[in-house]
Structure 1
Amino acid sequence: MNAQRHLDRASSMNEKIILKRLLSSSSVKSNVFQEEKLLVHRLHSTASETSDEEEIVSWNLTSSNENREYGEIPLKAYWTYFSECGLFWLSIYIVSTVSWQVLRIMTDFWLTKWSEDKHANEQVFYYLFVYALFSFGSICLSMVSNCTGQTAGARARYQLHNSMLENLLKCPMKFYETTPLGQIINRFSNDLSIIDKKIATSIQRLIQFFLMCVSAFIVNSIVTPWFLVFAAPICVVYYVIQKFYTCSLRELQRLDSIARAPILSHYSETDTGLETIRAFKQQETFTNVFFHKLDCHTNVFYIINAGNRWLGIALDYLGAVVVFIAILVSLVSSTVFPHLVTPPLIGLAINYTLLLPIYLNWIVKFLSDIEMYMGAVERISDCSKLPIEDYNSEAEVPKNWPLRADIRLEKASVQYDSSQQPVFTNLNLTIPHGQKIGICGQTGSGKSSLAMCLFRMAPLQEGQVFIGDRNISTIPLRRLRSCLSAIPQDVIMFSGTIRDNLDLRKEFTDEEIWHCLELAQLKKTVSEYAGELYGQVKEGGENFSAGERQLFCLARGILHNTTCLVMDEATSSLDADTEKTLINAARSAFEKKTVIIVAHRLQSLLDCERIIVLESGKIVEDGSPCQLLAKPGGVLASMLRATQSTK
Structure 2
Amino acid sequence: MWPLQDSNKAATLASNYVSVYATHGKSLLRTFFAIYWVKLIVIAVMQLFTAACDLYGPAYVLQKVVRAVQQPVFDPIATSLLVLSLYGIQVVGAFVKAHMKFMNDVIGFQFGSSLRSMLFEKALKLNAKSKKEKSAGDIANLFSTDVNSVMEFATNMNLIWIVPVQIGIVLYLLYVLVGWAIFVGLAVVFVILVINAVVAIMLGKEQEILFQAKDNRMKVVNEVFGAIQIVKFNAWEEKFLDKLIELRLAEVVSIWKYMRYYLVLMMFMFTTPVLVTITIFATFTLWMQLSLTVEIVFSTLALFKSLQDALFGLPVIVMSTAQCFVSVKRINAVLLMDEFDPSDVQTPASNAALKAKYALDRTVLAIDQGSFGWHTPSDNTDSASKSNKKVEESSAYEDNAATVLFAGVNLTIQQGQFVVLHGAVGQGKSSLCAALLGEMRKLAGTVFVGGDVAYFAQQSWIQNATVRDNILFGKPFDAAKYASVVEACALTTDIAALPAGDRTEIGQKGINLSGGQKARMSLARACYSDADIFVLDSPLSAVDAIVQNEIFTKCFLGLLRYKTILLVTHSLDIIQSPHVHRTFLVQDGTVTESTPTHKRANSPRPISSVAPLHPPTAYWAVDSQDIVDDLVVTLPRYDDHKTLMPEEHETGTLVVEEGRAAGRVSKAVVIEYIGAIGGWWSMIVMLLLTLAVEAIKVGSDMWLSHWSNQSTSLSPADFRANTNHNILIYGILVLATCVATLMQISSVLVYGLRGAKKLFSEMLHSLLEAPMLFFDANPIGRVLNRFGDDILQVDMFIPFSFAPILVQTASIVAKIVTTIAITQWMGLLVLPLMAVYGFLGSYFLAPLREVNRIQKTTRSPLLSLVSEGIDGSTTIRAFGPKYLRRFNCIHDDLLEAFVGARFVAVASNQWFALRVELISCTIVFALLMGIVVMHDAISAGLIALVITYGLSIPANLAGLVNVWARMETALIAPERLYEYIQLTKEGERHTPLDAASTSWPTHGQVQFDQVSYRYKPTAPLVLQDVSFTVKGGEKVGVVGRTGAGKSSLMMSLFRMNDLAAGHIRIDGLDIADMGLHNLRSHLAIIPQNPVLFKGTLRNYLDPFVEYDDDQLWIALTKVQLADRIGADPDKLLGPVEENGENFSVGERQMLCMARALLRQAKIVILDEATAAIDHDTDQLLQQVVRSEFATSTVLTIAHRLDTVLDCDRILVFDQGRLVQNDTPAALVNAGTGIFFDLVTEGGYSLEKQL
If the length of structure 1 is used for normalisation, what is the TM-score?
0.88
Shift in Å at residue 213 of structure 1? Answer: 0.5
In the TM superposition, residue 57 of structure 1 has moved relative to its aligned partner by 5.6
Is 2:907 aligned against 1:296?
no
Deviations 1:118-154 (A, max 9, x none): 2331022111111111111111111111112111111
The one of 1222, 1232, 1236 aligned to 1:623: 1222
Q: 2:1008 aligned with 1:392, yes or no?
A: no
Question: Counterpart of 2:868 in structure 1: which amino acid?
Answer: E
Deviation at 1:71, TM superposition (A): 2.0
Match of 1:232 in 2: 831
* Structure 1 residues 37-186: aligned runs within 5 Å: 53-54=636-637, 65-87=657-679, 89-117=682-710, 118=714, 119-186=718-785
> In the alignment, does 2:843 pair up with 1:244?
yes
SS of 2:824 mapped into structure 1:
coil
Query: Does 1:450 pair with 2:1033?
Result: no
Written as runs of structure 1 = structure 2, the 5 A alignment for 1:429-440 is 429-440=1028-1039
1:332 alignment counterpart: 933
The correspondence of residues 570-581 of structure 1 with structure 2, limited to 5 A, is 570-581=1169-1180
- Give CA-to-partner distance per residue, 1:57-88, whole Å, 9 cap, x none: 67799966212322222111111111111146
- From 906, 912, 920, give the equivalent of 1:311: 912
1:469 aligns with 2:1081: no
Supply the AA of the counterpart residue of 2:915.
A
Match for 1:592 among 1187, 1191, 1216? 1191
Matched, 1:545 2:1144: yes
Match of 2:947 among 350, 355, 380: 350
Distance in 2 between residues matched to 1:377 and 1:58, nearest whole Å: 36
Q: Distance in 2 between matches of 1:50 and 1:230?
A: 67
Q: Would the aligned equivalents of 1:569 and 1:598 in 2 still touch at CA under 8 Å?
A: yes
Deviates more, 1:221-230 or 1:194-203: 221-230
**Matching residue of 1:23:** none
Q: Deviations over 1:511-564 (max 9, x none)?
A: 333333334443333333222222222222222222222222222222233111
Structure-2 residue corresponding to 1:205: 804
What code does the residue aligned with 1:630 have? N
CA distance in structure 2 between the partners assigned to 1:67 and 1:397 by the alignment: 41
Q: Are 2:1125 and 2:1132, in contact at CA under 8 Å, matched by a contact in 1?
A: yes
- Contact 1:520-1:589 within 8 A present in 2 as well: no
In 1, Cα distance between equivalents of 2:1178 and 2:1079: 28
The verdict on how the C-alpha distance between 1:123 and 1:310 changes in structure 2, with shifts beyond 3 A counting, is same
Structure 1's 194 and 465: CA in aligned 2 closer, same or farther, altered over 3 A?
same
Q: 1:249 to 1:462 in 2, by over 3 A?
A: same
After superposition, the Cα gap between the structure-2 partners of 1:371 and 1:56, relative to the gap in structure 1 and judged at 3 Å, is closer
- The answer to whether the aligner puts 1:492 opposite 2:1091 as a matched pair is yes
Which amino acid in 2 is paired with 1:348? L
State the Cα distance separating 1:501 from its structure 2 match.
1.3
Match of 1:362 among 940, 950, 959: 959
Distance 1:302 1:153 in 2: 29
1:58–1:292 contact (8 Å) kept in structure 2: no
Residue 15 of structure 1 corresponds to none
The equivalent residue for 1:382 is 979
Match of 1:20 in 2: none
**Residues 59 and 289 in structure 1, CA contact (< 8 A), matched pair in contact too:** no
CA distance in structure 2 between the partners assigned to 1:292 and 1:644 by the alignment:
51
Residue 578 to residue 176, structure 1, CA distance change in 2 (3 Å): farther
How far, CA to CA, are the matches of 2:753 and 2:1234 in structure 1?
Answer: 62
**Counterpart of 1:53 in structure 2: which amino acid?**
P
**Aligned residue type for 1:492:** V
Classify 1:540/1:165 alpha carbon distance in 2 versus 1 (closer, same or farther; 3 Å): same
Report the structure number with the largest CA radius of gyration.
2
Residue by residue over 1:559-595, the C-alpha shift from the partner in whole angstroms, topping out at 9 and shown as x without a partner, is 2331111112223333434434443333332122111
Tell me how far 1:612 sits from its aligned partner: 1.3
Cα gap change, 1:72/1:49 in structure 2, threshold over 3 Å: closer, same or farther? Answer: farther
**Which residue among 849, 859, 865 is the counterpart of 1:260?**
859
The TM-score normalised by the length of structure 2 is 0.46
Give the Cα separation in 1 of the matches to 2:695 and 2:1242. Answer: 85
Secondary structure in structure 2 of the residue aligned to 1:101 = helix
Cα 1:76–1:403, aligned 2, differ >3 Å: closer, same or farther?
A: same
For residues 373-420 of structure 1, the C-alpha deviation after alignment (integer angstroms, 9 at most, x for no partner) is 222111110100101121132324322111110000011110223332
Paired with 1:416 and 1:55, the residues of 2 have a C-alpha distance of 28
Deviates more, 1:263-272 or 1:518-527: 518-527
Give the Cα–Cα distance (whole angstroms) in 2 for the partners of residues 53 and 372 of structure 1. Answer: 34
C-alpha distance 536-54 of structure 1, shift in aligned 2 (>3 A): closer
State whether structure 2 residue 778 is matched by structure 1 residue 191.
Answer: no
Q: CA deviation at 1:441?
A: 1.3
Contact 1:520 1:586 in 2 (8 A): no
Q: Distance in 1 between matches of 2:1072 and 2:637?
A: 51
Distance 2:800 2:894 in 1: 31
What is the CA–CA distance in structure 2 between the aligned matches of 1:525 and 1:305, rounded to whole Å?
Answer: 58
Deviations 1:231-290, CA, capped at 9 Å, x for gaps? 221111111111111111111111111211111112211211222222333222222111
CA deviation map 1:198-236 (0-9, x unaligned)? 111111111110110111012202210124421221111
Shift of 1:155: 0.8
Residue 478 of structure 1, CA deviation: 0.9
- Which segment is superposed worse, 131-140 or 52-61? 52-61
Matches within 5 A, 1:412-427: 412-427=1011-1026
Query: CA shift at 1:428, angstroms?
Result: 0.4
Partner of 2:1172: helix, strand, or coil?
coil
C-alpha RMSD over aligned residues: 2.5
Contact 1:57 1:292 in 2 (8 A): no
Could you say if the C-alpha distance between residues 597 and 227 of structure 1 is closer, same or farther in structure 2, counting changes exceeding 3 Å? farther
SS in 1 for 2:1104: coil
Whole-Å Cα distance in 1 between the matches of residues 688 and 1171 of structure 2? 65
Q: Which amino acid aligns with 2:671?
A: W
Task: State the distance in 2 between where 1:279 and 1:581 align.
Answer: 35
The structure 1 residue matched to 2:1102, chosen from 500, 503, 513, is 503
- Deviation of 1:451 (Å): 1.0
Task: Specify the code of the residue in structure 2 equivalent to 1:256.
Answer: Q
SS of 2:934's equivalent in the other structure is helix
Please list the CA deviations of residues 10-66 of structure 1 after superposition, one character each: whole Å capped at 9, or x if unmatched.
xxxxxxxxxxxxxxxxxxxxxxxxxxxxxxxxxxxxxx9977734776779996621
> Which sections of structure 2, spanning at least 5 residues, go unmatched?
1-475, 483-630, 644-648, 1245-1250
Segments of structure 1 that go 5 or more residues without pairing to the other structure are: 8-47
Give the Cα–Cα distance (whole angstroms) in 2 for the partners of residues 440 and 244 of structure 1. Answer: 64
Q: Hey, what's the Cα distance between the residues in 2 that align with 1:4 and 1:297?
A: 34
Structure 1 pair 459–587 and aligned structure 2 pair: CA distance change class (3 A): same
Q: Percentage identity across aligned positions?
A: 28
Q: Take 1:55 and 1:565, find their aligned partners in 2: how far apart are those partners?
A: 43
Aligned residue runs from structure 1 range 608-647, under 5 A: 608-644=1207-1243
- Which range is displaced more, 565-574 or 129-138? 565-574
